[in-house]
A and B are shown apart, each in its own frame.
Chain A
Amino acid sequence: MVIYGVALLSFCMLAGIFIGEMIGKAIGIDANVGGVGIAMLMLIIFSNSPSKRYQLSSITESGVNFWSAMYIPIVVAMAAKQNVIAALSSGWMAIIAGILAVIVSFLMIPLLAKISRGQSNDY
């Protein structure tokens, strides 16, 4: 049933966010630490289950796949609700800080990828 997939997805998300909040509380900060990432890990483990008994039927899977396919439209809606005016009208300092942070971070990608690739080749 489609709802099984949707319910499984919902369960993973809520459980992940709960764990994320708990981690935040445990280390004393008022933020969710990796809640969505933990939810994703749970879903990956469910979907890679080697046991036949827990394998999802394809109709159940379609309940998850629908939301996965809705991802880009949701991102477009997300873009349309950003506070673009505030970002553009706050003066040059905030804009330069934002742009420079992105440029420097981008430059690090090939470097980190190279280092980690080199390591894993040595095994």
Chain B
Amino acid sequence: MITDILVEILTTNSIITAFIFVGLLTAISYKFSAHFTKGYFHGSAIAIILGLIAAYMGGFITHGDNGIADIGVFSGVGILGGAMFRDFAIVATAFGADLKALKNAGFIAAASVVIGVILSFFVGAFVAIAFGYNDAISITTIGAGAATYIVGPVTGTALSAGSEVIALSVAAGLTKSIIVMVGTPIIASRVGLNNPHSALIYGGLMGTTSGVAGGLAATDPKLVPYGAMTATFYTGVGCLLAPSVLYLIIKAIM
């Protein structure tokens, strides 16, 4: 009976429960970071990995799409980690950001978004061809998915691609965003990702808002506003280019 009451309290106050969930996850991660990696592997990187593991377990138990948030008591995690609060917090990080760094990087930041979309698209398209796809619509949709998991379905729907191809494009985009989250802190110093200028370029090239948000949080929170700023233009540019110019190029090649 006590567990019933407890579950009910945790479920009806789901966002509050989510605060505790994330708080505990973060505390464990920072302890782990300090004791076992001597701070070399950042606490928030570990917290994000633990979050992904929790998401895997949630999906495994419930067969749902929203990771651990599909389990009743953790439904608040879905709200706290949803697009509304994510975007709200991202905008807040811009407070006090350096306007000069933005102005200096204006052109290259815009260019990096376009280059990023085209690059990811053709990598995805190439992989699709390597795996035996030979119709322009499927190749374009999978290429678009390699940009972000929003560009993929938007493009696929516009070109009336098959639903399994659209599902694959979402999976490619999801993989990308997870790899960016986990990989960024590991590779950051090797690619010179340690200043606002390169963070702007990084955001433009990667484009996945959640990947960039997670990756920079675990690398250097001060860089978040710069990367997030350019990343938010990426999906729009992708939705613009993929079903139009990029599709025509693929059609001409095939």
Contacts and interface: CB of A to CB of B under 8 A. Distances in A.
B187 A106 contact: yes
B26 A110 contact: no
Contacts of B248: none
A71 B90 contact: yes
Given A75-B214, A109-B192, A112-B108, A104 B91 contact: no
A82 interface: yes
Contact of B95 (A64, A108, A113): A64
A43 interface: yes
B246 interface: no
Nearest to A93: B131
Interface string A81-119: 111111110111111111111101111111011011101
Interface in A1-52: 9-10, 12-13, 16-17, 20, 23-24, 27, 29-37, 39-41, 43-45, 47-48
Contacts, number: 333
B55 interface: yes
A16 B206 CA distance: 22
Contact of A109 (B55, B104, B202): B202
B212 to A, nearest CB: 10
B81 A79 contact: yes
B45 to A, nearest CB: 10
A71 B222 CA distance: 11
B201 A35 contact: no
Contact of B96 (A32, A47, A108, A115): A47
Given A78-B81, A82-B178, A113 B198 contact: yes
B161 interface: no
B172 interface: yes
B69 A80 contact: yes
Nearest to B230: A37
A30 B179 contact: no
B133 to A, nearest CB: 9
Contact of B235 (A31, A47, A98): A31
A101 B213 contact: no
Contacts of A35: 232
Contacts of A96: 127
Contact of A81 (B49, B78, B224): B78
B176 A102 contact: yes
Nearest to A13: B91
Contacts of B176: 97-99, 101-102
A94 B99 CA distance: 38
A106 B146 CA distance: 14
Given A30-B239, A88-B56, A97-B142, A105 B209 contact: no
Interface in A41-82: 41, 43-45, 47-48, 61, 64-65, 67-68, 70-82
Contacts of A94: 142, 145, 168-169, 171-172, 174-175
Interface of B: 18-19, 21-23, 25-26, 44, 47-52, 54-56, 58-60, 65-69, 74, 77-78, 80-82, 85-97, 99, 102, 104-105, 107-108, 111-112, 115-116, 119-120, 123-124, 126-128, 131, 142, 145-147, 150, 154, 167-181, 183, 187, 191-193, 197-198, 201-202, 205-206, 209-210, 213-214, 217, 221, 224-225, 228-230, 232-233, 235-237, 239-240
